[in-house]
């Protein structure tokens, strides 16, 4: 069964450094998302991406964040200058299979644990 994959599983970085989190969505999906979960808290929406542009973003997704689909398979989240409070689990998700039903269901990857020191 197709699944969303994310790399790395754990990233440790120094405050102020740039990080890129990578995701490979399910191949025939059209919508891509990033969410984050600070330890012990609920999952929060960051951004959705469709047709090579951002379709929706939250107030968390400020100028420090950017997303990109550099090729036909990868979807990346870049944090330009990491802060201590960016430490969290970052989940990628995808939905809406091309030409198929079930556009509403988002399938999540296993997450990348980001630790900012």
Give contact residues for other proteins (rule: CB under 8 A).
31, 33, 35, 37, 41-45, 48, 50, 55-56, 58, 89, 91, 93, 95, 104-111, 113
Residue 8: HSE in the Cβ half-sphere, 13 Å Cα cutoff: 9
58/66 Cα distance (integer angstroms):
12
Nearest to 31 by CA among 102, 112, 111: 102
| Cβ at position 56, least distance to other proteins in Å | 6
Q: Residue 98 Cβ, how far from other proteins at the closest point, in Å?
A: 16
Cβ-based nearer residue to other proteins, 44 or 64 = 44
């Amino acid at each position: 069964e197709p699944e969303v994959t994310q790399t790395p599983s754990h990233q440790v970085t120094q405050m102020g450094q740039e990080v890129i989190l990578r995701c490979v969505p399910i191949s025939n999906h059209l919508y891509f998302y990033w969410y984050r979960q600070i330890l012990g808290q609920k999952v929060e929406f960051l951004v959705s991406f469709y047709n090579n542009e951002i379709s929706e973003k939250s107030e968390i997704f400020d100028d420090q964040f950017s997303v990109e689909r550099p090729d036909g398979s990868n979807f990346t989240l870049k944090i330009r200058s990491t802060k201590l409070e960016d430490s969290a689990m970052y989940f990628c998700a995808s939905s809406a299979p091309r030409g198929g039903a079930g556009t509403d269901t988002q399938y999540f990857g296993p997450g990348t644990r980001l630790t900012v020191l």
